[in-house]
Amino acid sequence: MESVTTLALHPDRLFPADASTREVARRLYSSVKDLPIISPHSHVPPEWISEDIPFSDPTSLLITPDHYVTRLMHAHGVQLHELGVGQGPLDEAASRAAFRHLCAHWGIYAGTPVRYWLESELVDIFGVTEVPTAGNSDAIYDQIADWIARESSTPRALMESFDIEVLATTDDPCDDLTHHRAVADDQTFARRMVPTFRPDRYLEPGRADWNAHTDRLAEVSGIDCGTWSGWVAAMEARRAYFKAHGAVSTDHSHKDLRTDVLEHADAERIYAGARAGTLSAHQAEALQRHMLTEMARMSSEDGLTMTLHPAVARNHHHPTFERYGADVGADIPTSVEVVRGLAPLLGRYGTSPQFKLVVFTMDETVFSREIGPLAGFYPSVYVGVPWWFLDAPDAIRRFRKAVTESAGFGKTSGFIDDTRAFCSIPARHDMSRRLDSVHLAELVVEHRLSEDEAASVIHALVAENPRKVFNL
Amino acid sequence: MESVTTLALHPDRLFPADASTREVARRLYSSVKDLPIISPHSHVPPEWISEDIPFSDPTSLLITPDHYVTRLMHAHGVQLHELGVGQGPLDEAASRAAFRHLCAHWGIYAGTPVRYWLESELVDIFGVTEVPTAGNSDAIYDQIADWIARESSTPRALMESFDIEVLATTDDPCDDLTHHRAVADDQTFARRMVPTFRPDRYLEPGRADWNAHTDRLAEVSGIDCGTWSGWVAAMEARRAYFKAHGAVSTDHSHKDLRTDVLEHADAERIYAGARAGTLSAHQAEALQRHMLTEMARMSSEDGLTMTLHPAVARNHHHPTFERYGADVGADIPTSVEVVRGLAPLLGRYGTSPQFKLVVFTMDETVFSREIGPLAGFYPSVYVGVPWWFLDAPDAIRRFRKAVTESAGFGKTSGFIDDTRAFCSIPARHDMSRRLDSVHLAELVVEHRLSEDEAASVIHALVAENPRKVFNL
Amino acid sequence: MESVTTLALHPDRLFPADASTREVARRLYSSVKDLPIISPHSHVPPEWISEDIPFSDPTSLLITPDHYVTRLMHAHGVQLHELGVGQGPLDEAASRAAFRHLCAHWGIYAGTPVRYWLESELVDIFGVTEVPTAGNSDAIYDQIADWIARESSTPRALMESFDIEVLATTDDPCDDLTHHRAVADDQTFARRMVPTFRPDRYLEPGRADWNAHTDRLAEVSGIDCGTWSGWVAAMEARRAYFKAHGAVSTDHSHKDLRTDVLEHADAERIYAGARAGTLSAHQAEALQRHMLTEMARMSSEDGLTMTLHPAVARNHHHPTFERYGADVGADIPTSVEVVRGLAPLLGRYGTSPQFKLVVFTMDETVFSREIGPLAGFYPSVYVGVPWWFLDAPDAIRRFRKAVTESAGFGKTSGFIDDTRAFCSIPARHDMSRRLDSVHLAELVVEHRLSEDEAASVIHALVAENPRKVFNL
């Protein structure tokens, strides 16, 4: 007989052992734990909210679309297709089998943030009370399936019960934003969903599909993209469209952060080559960097906050990409250079009054060396909070210790969940609030900050900073 | 009169001050402290075990061959020859003089792992009870010399009393492994000593002595190495020979981790150039990288675990190398790039069922950014525990905090002592067990892991992980 | 009515919460807190001391010249000219207005070392008892202005009351050192001010003004600088002049640490090109690196300690440089490579008996990977303590944890304040003493070091190390 272990969430989780520090952390945390969630960057599909599509089954809810979850099982020998990846809709047998894999592999997540988020969801959302095992996997599956069937479990209902005040999605510049308009127009739904302008594929002239995307940009914008000037005008038009539909930011993820600038005539000439398909790799790169800097110029004019998520080796394992496509857990961080890369962009727009630039990284070395110091000088620059592989307790603790001393608290972005795992959003924000409380509590007990001031800082980190950085 | 200070080991050494954390750490540690030592990568000379050669004198035992010890005295102005380096066998006067240097310089090791290991050895193994000084140096020397003279102090006796279950040595592919065979054949000795296939010099066609080594490879394997195909066959033959003599892994240490692949015809052509001595530096590098990837292919077939120890600037001070040779403390770590470097190799063999790859580093920045994420996706990849300059308490603590959140505990290698200092082996493994207990204890008191699960993890780190990773 | 909050310094500030660790830290700190200040590298203008020039007003004392203070206000939207930067002498209205900006922005410094230093100065030096706000800004201004007017507030009086035993300034090689001579010759003033030889502009032949500087070098030294040999002789003459006026070190800050060496004939030829203004960028770089290595050769002969402060992107925002000039907060750290860069220099002079080389960094990654290991082998190499953006509590804590395990305590430089903010000198040294006490206290409570030995180490870090490293 398999023994059953109780699953419960300790109210002091993530707080340090030291009693005096814990006391302060508790007080700081309790002052912000119930504030509404502001999520200025996520990957939730907008149709979930506009159409209020119910979730289908536990595996599609918690496993298949979440590469955080699937990648570690893959690292322990489970094939991605066994977890539903690349399978289309799952029948119940397949869904239960995948769910059993997760429960049977519960131990491999020990010490990871995935474990933390899943435990929070199981207890707080689904009411599960036992640690998952192969043995109780079907029972837990049933419990979650029952929960999914409730009226209170649709995306809109959850947006209410999770108290998500603002949710930003990530969208193609040619998207018509129907879903965002529908949500905005619905007087019965008070929550806010805003689009984010994510033009990566339009800014990489080296891609095989760049011309096709550019053709579509011309079509959607109604502006001839035969010239560089046309492309610029089309982009400006689409940004204006996004802004009119509530967008507050643009997001960019290229392999590096270089922002070299071309002379206008060179830009026109190279752009013409791109449209003609005669570009060298070097020219494609030069044009991409120039385009990114143009995005900053536009931000300095239209006020859309620019966020940068650079330096990921996408689809590192080619056979996995061939079989399963992108976003299945095979993206790996690489090192990034910020200071020289952004110098041209910041030389032009770094002190522009309307410009706001949030720099994220998965290369921790640049926090104290580059991003903190840049944010501590440029009025436009903000330090993005820990992203992706760094969105975990120890890394978040290192982040605050690395950037606060040069940039303070006021030049950091506020928490970003960056997730497509809808039910993990509360746990992720809660984790951040706890950890920032701990960081501040340590400053308090080491007599580096008064508790009154710490209370004001923790409130700013949760509420004022994201509103300010994203014009919310 | 010089004052004498008592030397003793505190049972709670390396445990944190916080009482609740210390309690948990004690319990976790006590559950694994007496488990046998598994040492899957060391530099102990195999003849020590096969011929059970007694140690000669305290200096040859503790100082001369251990660059950890000699380098810091050198940094404080002691010449290497004063410590017996490059001197051949030492007479008693020279041995005592060198030992006196160590005792007189005891203070310079404060806060270093060398101090920790030496203190452990002095107290636990040799029974020394006074802090070394110039004044008591001869007395301590005598005490150790007496210990050396005992029958219970030979390498085999120590392998028993240290409870070393498996000891892997590091060996040249052309080695006949006589010593390993002798130990395996000796029914009276139950401990296991296995060889490790370390082919660096055969994989670097740019070396002046590469052709000579290749000639020897042909001779020993009995396979014509006039062609690339011949070289591959010869290597496969030697790996099979090693495997038949108990080897479980191959080890590789080149200046970087690039694994670009050549077309077969190019490999043959460039290899022919290497044999003809007409290779350019660029071609030599290309062939080396291809050879390393071939080693991965062979591992995916013969199941020998592949370990990588990259990025050391060997013999950084040329005059020291000229006078004293290699491995005297003048090797310095450099930065390393893992993600792009290993992409070709992992694209081919990263998901091969038999393949296991352990990546070590002395560049801490790649733990959270590159190795952890790779090990969290590829079933073949394991994170090597802290190596060389990082094999110390604070660095080991940083390691667990850097990789656990992306790779968990199950994708780490188990402790590797990597040493030629035989008497330091128990202290090194003990340090690792203590520090992993502390890491886990912190997770427990912060309510991030239950103590039951932590107990299961600490056992896995000490016992199951190394057995699994190295097929023991 | 605006509420007033009391400003006070807690005696245990920067000490950890854990009671046992705090007890040990207190004891260690109390044993060194009153030791005299040794400041072997600062940016205090020598005329302040020689002419004992009274400070003019609170803003010129605390804000305008201190880019640590101005940069974070700039990051929050205050223009540099509003803080007096680039304005020449300020009238009282402008001075008060700038001071009000600081007080109104007090909150942005939470968690930064600037806040820590300013609080220390306000309480300990000026006797301020209220947390600054826009509301009490004029009152605090008046209080500091009154303090400035006292006879006990001149630079010389402060050097006495701060107990600064030695203060090193940073000086141009062509400086006549009048101020230093005046202080040395003044029998009524017992404190020591020494110059530092800082030849950067003479070592960068790629600069537009290099020939003008070299002309001046020839003029001041009286040695023809038409040839490389002449330049070398002129430099040696100026170093001898500095040494005769009390200098103990030279300081160098270039964009990287490469020290490639030229053949003498090549040096002569390239130097001739530099004088003729026909140098390529590549040649200019080659000559610069050779010149830096020549500086090491001279240090190995004249015994002036060589300090390296590499890898800063100076004047990152060009429009700011155009308007305000250098040193206004727009310098940003970049990554640095140490091991390969210094190999030529260390191959030549790394074991020279008289040579001492202190390597500073703002790239934390090289502490454990490169500088610690180098200092743990080369007798000449010392690890520079945290510099500039790293001169803050958390970064200092990381520093000791990163370098001690490979280099111990004895191969670190002793604290360097590196500041032009005269009144912050005591607080900076005090911070360092507190933090090193905490580091040692943790080793003590974790039974890694006895408290007796820790007491001897903390004394060495404050008193013996800087005296030894800088021949004081």
List strands edge to edge, sheet with C249-252: C249-252, C305-308, C357-359, C381-383
Query: Are C407 and B75 in contact (CB < 8 Å)?
Result: yes
Q: Tell me: the pLDDT tens digits for C100-115?
A: 999 999 999 999 999 9
CB distance B249 to B304 below 8 Å:
yes
CB distance B179 to B50 below 8 Å:
yes
Burial of A58 (0-12, 13-18, 19+ CB in 10 A): buried
Set out the domains of chain A in order of their start, with CATH numbers: 55-153 (1.10.2020.10)
- What does each C-alpha distance from A439 to B379, C335, C393 come to in angstroms? 35, 27, 13
- Within 10 angstroms of residue B277's Cβ, the number of other Cβ atoms is 10
pLDDT at A1: 45
C-alpha to C-alpha distance for A117 and A133, rounded to whole angstroms: 17
Scanning B229-258 for CB atoms below 8 A from C yields none
- In this predicted structure, the answer to whether residue A184 has a pLDDT above a threshold of 50 is yes
Would you state the structure tokens that stand for residue B180, as one six-digit string?
């390993």
pLDDT at B4: 76
pLDDT at B432: 98
Scanning B71-90 for CB atoms below 8 A from C yields 71-72, 74-77
C-alpha to C-alpha distance for C135 and A284, rounded to whole angstroms: 56
pLDDT at A2: 53
Contacts of C61 (CB under 8 A, 6+ apart): C55, C144, C148, C422, C423
C-alpha to C-alpha distance for A39 and C365, rounded to whole angstroms: 32
C-alpha to C-alpha distance for B439 and B432, rounded to whole angstroms: 11
Contacts of B155 (CB under 8 A, 6+ apart): B44, B48, B49, B52, B53, B55, B422
Q: Tell me: the pLDDT tens digits for C350-386?
A: 999 999 999 999 999 999 999 999 999 999 999 999 9
Residue B224 forms contact with A (CB below 8 Å): no
Would you state the structure tokens that stand for residue B386, as one six-digit string?
């802290």
Residue in C12, C111, C334 nearest the CB of A447: C12
C-alpha to C-alpha distance for C233 and C241, rounded to whole angstroms: 12
- Within 10 angstroms of residue B157's Cβ, the number of other Cβ atoms is 14
Query: Are B376 and A111 in contact (CB < 8 Å)?
Result: no
Question: Residue A472 half-sphere exposure, CB side, CA atoms within 13 Å?
Answer: 25
Calculate mean pLDDT across residues A276-303: 97
Residue in C340, C376, C406 nearest the CB of B313: C340
Query: Are A75 and B453 in contact (CB < 8 Å)?
Result: no
Name the one residue in this structure whose structure tokens are 């280099």: C407
Query: Helix B281-302 crosses helix B264-276 at what angle (to 10 degrees)?
Result: 120
C-alpha to C-alpha distance for B47 and A461, rounded to whole angstroms: 63
Burial of B323 (0-12, 13-18, 19+ CB in 10 A): middle
- In this predicted structure, the answer to whether residue A4 has a pLDDT above a threshold of 90 is no
Closest C-alpha to A345, from A266, A287, A412, A290? A290
Residue C374 forms contact with B (CB below 8 Å): yes
DSSP state letter for A429 = H
Give pLDDT < 50 ranges for chain B: 1
Would you state the structure tokens that stand for residue C274, as one six-digit string?
């530099």
Q: What is the mean pLDDT of chain C?
A: 97
pLDDT at C1: 45
Share of chain B above pLDDT 70, in %: 99
Name the one residue in this structure whose structure tokens are 């009411």: A127
pLDDT at B1: 45
Angular region, B471: left φ>0, alpha ψ -120 to 50, beta rest: left
β-strand pairing of B305-308 with B357-359: parallel
pLDDT at C4: 77
CB distance C170 to C43 below 8 Å:
yes
- In this predicted structure, the answer to whether residue C243 has a pLDDT above a threshold of 90 is yes
Q: Is the pTM of this model over 0.90?
A: yes
Residue B442 forms contact with C (CB below 8 Å): no
Torsion sign (Cα): A408, A366, A39, B377: negative
Share of chain A above pLDDT 90, in %: 99
β-strand pairing of C164-168 with C305-308: unpaired
| Residue of chain A whose alpha carbon sits nearest to that of C9 | A447
Tallying the residues shown for chain A, one arrives at 472
CB distance A215 to A174 below 8 Å:
no
- In this predicted structure, the answer to whether residue A8 has a pLDDT above a threshold of 50 is yes
| Residue of chain C whose alpha carbon sits nearest to that of A364 | C365
pLDDT at A386: 97
ipTM of the complex: 0.97
Closest C-alpha to B406, from B385, B384, B383, B386? B383
C-alpha to C-alpha distance for B138 and B132, rounded to whole angstroms: 10
B330 neighbourhood in chain C, CB within 8 Å: 377
Share of chain A above pLDDT 70, in %: 99
Residue C207 forms contact with A (CB below 8 Å): no
pLDDT at B2: 54
**Phi, psi for B251 (deg, rounded to 5):** -130, 140
- In this predicted structure, the answer to whether residue C347 has a pLDDT above a threshold of 70 is yes
β-strand pairing of A37-39 with A164-168: parallel
Residue B394 forms contact with C (CB below 8 Å): yes
pLDDT at A3: 67
| Residue of chain B whose alpha carbon sits nearest to that of A115 | B448
